[in-house]
Structure formats: C-alpha cells, structure tokens
C-alpha cells in the first residue's frame, strides 16, 4: 500500500505529519525485535492449539451450564487445556474467581494453615496482597488466621538476597510467593529463568516448600511458564493476558494436583471442590480468549517496546528501557510534569475504540496518597490487557501503561499520546526529526 494513504488515515484520526513520521522512523528501527516477538507468538500459538486438540475441545464444550454445574464438560476440558498448556498437573479456571487478587488470595488461603509462615523473597508483593496477607491489617487476612509473614527484599542491583532468604526459611515456612511482574514498582520483572534459579535455591534448602508464582501480566511473554522452571503453582487473572481480551471475568490457578485441589475446596466447599461451579454463558469466551492470547500479548509487547523507544528518544526515562528484554507487558514512562502525565493519558483515551470522547481527569482514589489519573476505553471494564494507562499525580509523574488487543491499536494510542504532548509543547520538537 502507498505510504501516503496510510499517513492520511492516521491524519484523519488526528495524528500530525511530524508525529507520524517520527513514529515510522522508530517502528522501522524495531523490525528485528518485532520479528522475535512474532516467533514467540507463533510458538505459543502452537502450544495452545496442541493443548486444545489433545483434550478434544468440541462444540459441546461451549454449552451453557447453570445451577450446580455438575459434569460441565466445557469447564472441565478447559481446565485440562490450561493444565497442559502451562505444564501443570491440574487447573482451576473459573468465572467464580472474580479477579487476580481473588485468585491469589484463594491460592494462599487454601494452601496455608494456622501456624504456617508465608515468605516473599522478592520484596513487597502487589498492593492488594498487603491486605490479604495482613501487612496492612484487614478483616479476614491471613494474619487473622494465625499465618505469619516474612519478606526478604531484593538487593539494590535487583539481585536475590540469597543469604537473607536462607536465614528467613525456617521450619514454619510453608509457602513462598514470587511475583513475576514488577507491577507498579521499579524493580526489574523476573524472567522465567531467574524464577527457576530462585526456586532451585529455595528447594535446595527446603524441598517441601510450596513455590507459588504470581503470574499476572507474564503469560505468553516468553516460551516457558514458571511451572516449567520448578514452580508448584501459578496464579493469574483472565482480564489480563490469558483471557485474550475476550474473557469478561475470571482467574486461574494451575499446578500440583494437591495445591489446585486445596484451592477448589476453598473456592466452593470442602467435599464439593471442582465438581460444582456452573460456567453460565462465559465459557466460549474463555476458550476463544485463550486461543487469541499469544497474539494479543505479542501486540501488547510491541506496543510497550514502541513506547519505550519513542519516549526514550525524546529524553524521558523509561522502564524497561528501549533495548531490554521483556518479561511482562508493562511499560513505565516518566513524564516529569503533571501536564505531561495528563496529556499522555488524554492521548491513550482519545485513541480508544470505546469512550474515546471522554477526557480523563485526576481523582482521589481510596488507598492512594495523591490523585490518580487513568485512561481506558475498554470492552471489558477494568481489563488491563486492553490498552490502558494510569499514574499517580505526584513526582516524578510516571505513567504505567499496558495492553492493546492489537499492535495497531497500541501504536495509535502511543502516537496519540505523543500528539497530545506535541500540541501542548511538552516535548522537545527538535528531537522529533
Ligand atoms: C493485576 C495484578 C494483581 C491483582 O489483580 P487484580 O485483577 O487487579 O485483582 C496481582 N499481582 C500482579 C502482579 C498484578 O499485575
């Protein structure tokens, strides 16, 4: 196709010639990296198809079950597909798991007993887990049930504090929680290889400890998943990577049979476990979303790398940087001013297929000590595998952005964010050419 036709198309959406040309230059410089991502997508697509074929996914699997949901073929088969694809003995994949935090709380609360201790050897866990664990006192926390918690922070260079971990492991340590993604921190995201190194160190000291990985934002970014590196249990949300943008709700736990069984008895009831839990009308979207997920994650990764390179070139600090290898789909960009942060989010919003006409505004959010601005125009509310951005309105004015169901939408979102900064003179225009 004629390049000018494409440029005109972007122009009709509000992208100026200068911004388009700059984006094209950056995109052209990323051909090799994008090809490597495509290869990972291809590998993971085959993995998903193989798991679906092996388990004889059929049209019958898409039937709707209601009530108790006894003998729900679609639900049971999907759990086997997840287990095979992620190399677990068993899986729990349910719409009754309401979100990622719920899945993680379920995995922890069902596998820990009073008197046990939980260890995080990778520093502070994701914000919402603080209340689950009881780091911040909360009703129903693990602390209330007599489960204690220890934490060993990462070293200043991002490495594991092996001596600290050795000292923290004791006869009470029952479960170790390892967060793969940096989440909203500035530490590096852990590769599956590094997770494997950490687990073998821990199991070398205490072989029977359960190693759980918070896999949120990590699924399908690499060819391997943490169960292949020695983890006992991986946990995540279906409105992130593995739902492929189609699952409207849900969470999963995959791993050792006993870990999954414990979780099932806690989710439903002792004695009932996995036998109940109607899939209502959502199961087809779980299958189709999982089928699409490798491609969707590839698009989101391209978007993250594109953004890193665009903003790095314009002098803004970015984490990860433009050339680093990727282990999750989150990109942080430090915009240095409230105007910059707001303009960035306005651009993401303006590029959305849904609610593009809305202007995001900073607001006071419970649990935060400053205003927060969020941009999202998603088909599934709160879905962060769809293009979305947010950041607290305080120095250094960093935006965390992730997702994009297609690479082209992610590209438009990033170009639109730059367009807004460009129009408000918040970028050095000399660096654009
Ligand atoms: C999103 C996320 C969670 C929590 O998931 P919710 O669905 O928001 O409850 C936990 N851990 C990590 C690393 C996450 O990215």
| Ligand 1 mean position, distance from CA 357 (Å) | 28
Ligand 1 centre from 319 Cα, in Å?
19
Locate the ligand 1 atom nearest the alpha carbon of residue 181 and give its number. 13
Q: How far is the CA of 239 from the centre of ligand 1 (A)?
A: 10
- Structure confidence at residue 107 (pLDDT): 98
Q: How far does Cα 312 stand from its chain's mean position?
A: 23
Q: Ligand 1, residue 102: give the atom nearest the CA.
A: 9
DSSP conformation letters of 223-261: S--GGGGT-SEEEEETTSGGGTTT-SS-EEEEE-HHHHH
Any residues with Cβ below 6 Å from ligand 1, and which?
99-101, 104, 126, 128, 179, 181, 183, 214, 216-217, 237
Measured in angstroms, how far is the CA atom of residue 100 from the centroid of ligand 1? 5
How confident is the model over 34-90, as pLDDT tens digits?
999 999 999 999 999 999 999 999 999 999 999 999 999 999 999 999 999 999 999
Residue of 328, 249, 237, 242 whose CA lies nearest to 292: 242
Instruction: Tell me if 401 sits within 8 A of 333, measured CB to CB.
Output: yes
The ligand 1 atom nearest the CA atom of 101: 9
DSSP secondary structure string for all residues of 163-188: HHHHHH--TTEEEEEEE-S-TTSSSP
User: 235 CA to middle of ligand 1, Å?
Assistant: 10
Alpha carbon nearest to ligand 1 atom 3, residue? 100
Span from the CA of 78 to the centroid of ligand 1 (angstroms):
22
Q: What is the pLDDT of residue 367?
A: 65
Nearest CA to ligand 1 atom 7: 100
> Which residue in 85, 62, 161, 60 sits closest to 120, CA to CA?
161
If we measure between CA atoms, which residue out of 411, 417, 418, 425 comes closest to residue 347? 417
Please tell me the distance from the alpha carbon of residue 369 to that of residue 141, in angstroms, as a whole number. 23
Name which of 357, 287, 250, 387 is nearest 74 in CA terms.
Answer: 287
Question: Relative to the CA of 217, which ligand 1 atom is closest?
Answer: 15
Check: CB of residue 344 under 8 Å from CB of residue 421.
yes
Ligand 1, residue 104: give the atom nearest the CA.
Answer: 10
Ligand 1, atom 8, residue with closest C-alpha: 100
How close is the Cα of 236 to the center of ligand 1, in Å?
7
pLDDT of residue 308: 98
Instruction: Give me the residues of the chain with pLDDT under 70, please.
Output: 367
The number of the ligand 1 atom at minimal distance from the alpha carbon of 384 is: 1
Rounded CA-CA distance 52/44 in Å is 13
What's the pLDDT score for residue 54? 98
The full set of domains in the chain, from first to last, is 3-43+294-432 (3.90.1150.60), 63-290 (3.40.640.10)
**Which atom in ligand 1 lies closest to the alpha carbon of residue 180?**
13
Nearest CA owner, ligand 1 atom 12: 216
Nearest CA to ligand 1 atom 14: 216
Of 187, 182, 252, the C-alpha closest to 218 is 182
Q: Give pTM, 2 decimals.
A: 0.96
Residue nearest to atom 5 of ligand 1 (CA): 100
Token representation of residue 83 = 């287990």
310 C-alpha to center of ligand 1: Å? Answer: 27
Q: Which of 106, 128, 195, 219 to mutate to test the pocket of ligand 1 (most atoms within 8 A of CB)?
A: 128
Pocket probe mutation, ligand 1, options 237, 252, 297, max atoms within 8 Å of Cβ:
237
Residue 162: predicted pLDDT = 98
């Amino acid at each position: 196709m004629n390049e000018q036709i494409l440029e005109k198309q972007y122009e009709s959406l509000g992208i100026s010639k200068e911004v388009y040309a700059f984006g094209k230059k950056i995109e052209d410089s990323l051909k090799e990296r994008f090809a490597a991502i495509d290869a990972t997508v291809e590998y993971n697509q085959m993995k998903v198809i193989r798991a679906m074929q092996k388990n004889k996914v059929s049209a019958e699997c898409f039937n709707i079950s209601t009530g108790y949901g006894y003998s729900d073929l679609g639900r049971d088969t999907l759990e086997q597909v997840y287990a095979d694809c992620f190399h677990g003995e068993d899986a729990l994949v349910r719409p009754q798991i309401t979100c990622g935090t719920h899945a993680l709380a379920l995995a922890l609360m069902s596998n820990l007993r009073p008197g046990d201790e939980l260890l995080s050897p990778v520093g502070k866990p994701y914000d919402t887990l603080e209340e689950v664990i009881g780091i911040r006192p909360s009703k129903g926390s693990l602390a209330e049930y007599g489960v204690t918690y220890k934490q060993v922070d990462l070293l200043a260079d991002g490495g594991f504090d092996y001596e600290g971990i050795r000292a923290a492991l004791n006869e009470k340590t029952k479960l170790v929680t390892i967060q793969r993604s940096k989440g909203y921190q500035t530490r590096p995201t852990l590769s599956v290889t590094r997770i494997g190194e950490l687990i073998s160190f821990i199991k070398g000291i205490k072989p029977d400890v359960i190693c759980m990985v918070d896999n949120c934002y990590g699924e399908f970014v690499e060819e391997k998943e943490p169960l292949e590196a020695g983890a006992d249990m991986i946990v995540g949300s279906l409105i992130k990577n593995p739902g492929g943008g189609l699952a409207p709700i849900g969470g999963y736990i995959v791993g050792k049979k006993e870990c999954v069984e414990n979780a099932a008895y806690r989710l439903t009831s002792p004695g009932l476990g996995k036998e109940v839990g109607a899939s209502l009308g959502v199961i087809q979207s779980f299958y189709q979303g999982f089928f699409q997920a490798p491609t969707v994650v590839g698009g989101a990764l391209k978007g993250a790398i594109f953004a890193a390179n665009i903003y790095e070139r314009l002098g803004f600090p970015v984490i990860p940087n433009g050339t680093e290898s990727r282990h999750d789909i989150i990109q942080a960009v430090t915009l240095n001013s409230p105007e910059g942060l707001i303009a960035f989010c306005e651009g993401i919003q303006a590029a959305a297929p849904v609610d593009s006409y809305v202007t995001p505004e900073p607001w006071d959010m419970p649990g935060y000590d400053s205003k927060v601005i969020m941009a999202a125009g998603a088909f599934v509310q709160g879905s962060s595998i769809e293009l979305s951005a947010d950041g607290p309105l305080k120095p250094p004015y960093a935006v965390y952005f992730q997702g994009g169901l297609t690479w082209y939408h992610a590209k438009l979102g990033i170009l639109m964010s730059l367009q807004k900064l460009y129009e408000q003179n918040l970028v050095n225009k000399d660096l654009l050419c």
